C-alpha cells in the first residue's frame, strides 16, 4: 500500500513537471493528480523535490534490510558482494520503470533543485554502504578507508552505468554493471575478506574450552594467498615458505 502510494505520487509529480514545468506546478495539483489531500501530501513529503524521489525512501529501506539480513550468518557472506547486490537493487528498480526513470532523468537536466536533491539521495545510499562495511570488516584492516572507498566506488560505477542505460532504456546493461562490480571487488584489499573475529572471552561465550584458544594449547590454521610470478617456470618454494612464515608470525 505504501509503495503504491509513493509510486502514484512520483508518477503524478513527474508527469506534471514534464508537461507544465517545475516552477509552475503547485503542490495542490500534484496532490490532486495523486488522489490525496494537500495535508496528506505534506505529511508524506516535505517539498516538491522530495516527492520526485519518494520511491527511493522505500528502496533505501530495502537496501538497509538486505545488508542487515546478510549479517544473520556471520562469516558466510562476502561484504563486498553484499554491497554490490544492494546497489543492484537500486539499478533494477530503475530498469523496472523505464518511462518514469527516463522522465525523471530529463527533469534533472532542467531543474537545479532536483539535481541537488538527487545528490542527497545518492549520498544516503553511500552512507548506508559505508556503515555496513565499517560494521562487518575485520578490525585489523583499514576499516574506515576501505569502507568509504569501496562504497563510493560502487555508487560511482552504478551511476555511470545507469546514465548509459538512461540514454537508451532498450539496452540491457546489467551484465556490464556486474562486470564493473567484479572489477571493484578484485581491487578490494584481500585482508578485508576475512570474517570479523569476535573479541569475546571464554567467560563471555560460555562454550569455549582452553584447547579452542591459541594460548590454551590448541592449534591455529593459517591460510595465506601467495602471488606467484607469471610464466610456466618452477615455483620458488623458498619464497612460498617465507610467505607462510610471515603469515604465521
Domain of 174: which CATH number? 1.10.357.10
Q: Are residues 146 and 113 in the same domain?
A: yes
Q: Are residues 133 and 180 in the same domain?
A: yes
Q: Are residues 148 and 237 in the same domain?
A: no
pLDDT of residue 237: 56
Asked whether residue 202 is domain-assigned, the answer is: no
Q: Are residues 224 and 173 in the same domain?
A: no
Q: Are residues 125 and 239 in the same domain?
A: no
pLDDT of residue 201: 38
CB 108 within 8 A of CB 117: no
Q: Are residues 82 and 105 in the same domain?
A: yes
- In the chain, pLDDT over 90 holds for what percent of residues? 52
Asked whether residue 206 is domain-assigned, the answer is: no
pLDDT of residue 206: 41
pLDDT of residue 134: 92
Q: Are residues 120 and 158 in the same domain?
A: yes
Asked whether residue 143 is domain-assigned, the answer is: yes
Helix 2-20 vs helix 54-69: crossing angle, to nearest 10: 140
Asked whether residue 207 is domain-assigned, the answer is: no
Q: Are residues 10 and 121 in the same domain?
A: no
Residue count of the chain? 249
pLDDT of residue 234: 55
Asked whether residue 205 is domain-assigned, the answer is: no
Question: Residue 212, CB half-sphere, CA atoms under 13 Å: how many?
Answer: 8
Q: How many helices (H) and strands (E) does the chain have?
A: 12, 0
Q: Are residues 88 and 46 in the same domain?
A: no
Q: Are residues 97 and 37 in the same domain?
A: no
- What residues contact 241, with CB distance under 8 A and at least 6 apart? none
CA–CA gap between residue 7 and residue 33 (Å, rounded) = 12
- Provide the domain count of the chain: 3
Asked whether residue 200 is domain-assigned, the answer is: no
Residues 152-187 pLDDT 10s: 999 999 999 999 999 999 999 999 999 999 999 999
Domain of 26: which CATH number? 1.10.10.60
Q: What is the residue-wise DSSP string for 39-76?
A: HHHHHH-SSHHHHHTHHHHHHHHHHHHHHHHTTSSTTS
Residues 201-236 pLDDT 10s: 333 434 443 333 334 444 444 455 555 555 445 555
Asked whether residue 203 is domain-assigned, the answer is: no
- What residues contact 26, with CB distance under 8 A and at least 6 apart? none
Task: Look at residues 52, 68, 95 and tell me which one is the last residue of a structural domain.
Answer: 52
Asked whether residue 110 is domain-assigned, the answer is: yes
Residue 137 lies in domain: 54-193
CB 176 within 8 A of CB 134: no
Q: Are residues 182 and 222 in the same domain?
A: no
Q: Are residues 13 and 134 in the same domain?
A: no
**What is the model's pTM?**
0.72
pLDDT of residue 77: 75
DSSP state of 35: T
Could you tell me which of 146, 105, 106 has the C-alpha nearest to residue 129?
Answer: 146
* pLDDT beneath 70: ranges in the chain: 1, 73-76, 140-141, 190-249
Amino acid at each position: 500500500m505504501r509503495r503504491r502510494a509513493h509510486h502514484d505520487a512520483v508518477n503524478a509529480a513527474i508527469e506534471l513537471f514534464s508537461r507544465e514545468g517545475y516552477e509552475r506546478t503547485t503542490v495542490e495539483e500534484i496532490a490532486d493528480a495523486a488522489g490525496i489531500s494537500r495535508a496528506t501530501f505534506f505529511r508524506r513529503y516535505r517539498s516538491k523535490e522530495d516527492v520526485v524521489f519518494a520511491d527511493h525512501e522505500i528502496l533505501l529501506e530495502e537496501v538497509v534490510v538486505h545488508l542487515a539480513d546478510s549479517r544473520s550468518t556471520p562469516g558466510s557472506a562476502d561484504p563486498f558482494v553484499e554491497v554490490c547486490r544492494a546497489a543492484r537493487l537500486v539499478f533494477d528498480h530503475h530498469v523496472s520503470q523505464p518511462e518514469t526513470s527516463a522522465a525523471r532523468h530529463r527533469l534533472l537536466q532542467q531543474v537545479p533543485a532536483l539535481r541537488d536533491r538527487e545528490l542527497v539521495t545518492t549520498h544516503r545510499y553511500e552512507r548506508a554502504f559505508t556503515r555496513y562495511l565499517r560494521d562487518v570488516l575485520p578490525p585489523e584492516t583499514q576499516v574506515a578507508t576501505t569502507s568509504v572507498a569501496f562504497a563510493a566506488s560502487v555508487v560511482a560505477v552504478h551511476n555511470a552505468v545507469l546514465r548509459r542505460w538512461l540514454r537508451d532504456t532498450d539496452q540491457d546493461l546489467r551484465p556490464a554493471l556486474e562486470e564493473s562490480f567484479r572489477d571493484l571487488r578484485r581491487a578490494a584489499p584481500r585482508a578485508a575478506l576475512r570474517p570479523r573475529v569476535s573479541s569475546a572471552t571464554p567467560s563471555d561465550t560460555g562454550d569455549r574450552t582452553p584447547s579452542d584458544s591459541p594460548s590454551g594449547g590448541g592449534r591455529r590454521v593459517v591460510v595465506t594467498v601467495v602471488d606467484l610470478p607469471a610464466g610456466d617456470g618452477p615455483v620458488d618454494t623458498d619464497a612460498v615458505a617465507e610467505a607462510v612464515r610471515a603469515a604465521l608470525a
